[in-house]
Structure 1
Amino acid sequence: MMSSSVAKSASWSDVKVKPWHNTQKQQVTATRSMLVIEMRDRGQNRKPLQRGRNLSIEAIQAVQHLKRAHLHSNPLDHVFNSKFRRLLKFDMIAVLRELLRQNHCLLALKVFTLLHSILFDY
């Protein structure tokens, strides 16, 4: 640190330099930090109205159970009654879309026939 005589004096000849002590190294650093805050349009913060390809946990589990039962040639009626019929209509359609996306066409056809009978059975 500089002595008080430096602040009053205009010449550097009056400056006295003190040696650093190795036991106590004190380094004073002045840092300038800048915080930048950006504001976005409020419309960008909103989530989309349509869920898109996001599946609910129940829909993912239903797809997994249907694929597992179809792979092991188990009857699908138990899976349809226990897992699929409990889903919301939107999730049922999402399961159908996911099976079509994964190219399980025969399984998707069975889901479609059940979905058609559930939705249009008055």
Structure 2
Amino acid sequence: MDEVLGSRIREDVAVPPDRLDEMLVALRRIARAERVPLHTFAHLGEGSLHPNYVVDPASPRAERVRAALYRAALDLGGTISGEHGIGRLKRGYLAREVGPVAVRLLRSVRAACDPDGILNPGTLYPPPGDD
């Protein structure tokens, strides 16, 4: 199937439970607009969603789907990471969720705990000069 459709991309976002219906509508809209198969697993009581879509992960379409998914979650008062963390894939979206002041605070806490920058460098923040 990978040769025909691409790879399955697993995502993790969350929205307030009372906004789940709006998020599910947004997911269907994104899937239709980008012409990707999309299925969602969820922990409905807490608003945590795991949209899975099939696309070539290196394609511009994969990034468009990802960006639209994160934007929809944030626009509904949610988060880009319901339970699986930020990491390299989502780090470019962190500032949109928490704001620049919070990012500076997070960086200062990181510097205090890891002054040499040896613990998972580049995972949550781009390397210095790349952001």
The TM-score bracket by the shorter chain reads: under 0.3
TM-score by length of 1: 0.27
Q: Please say which structure displays the higher CA radius of gyration.
A: 1
TM-score by length of 2: 0.26
| Structure holding more strand per residue | 2
Which structure would you say has the larger RCO, counting Cα contacts within 8 Å and 6 or more residues apart? 2
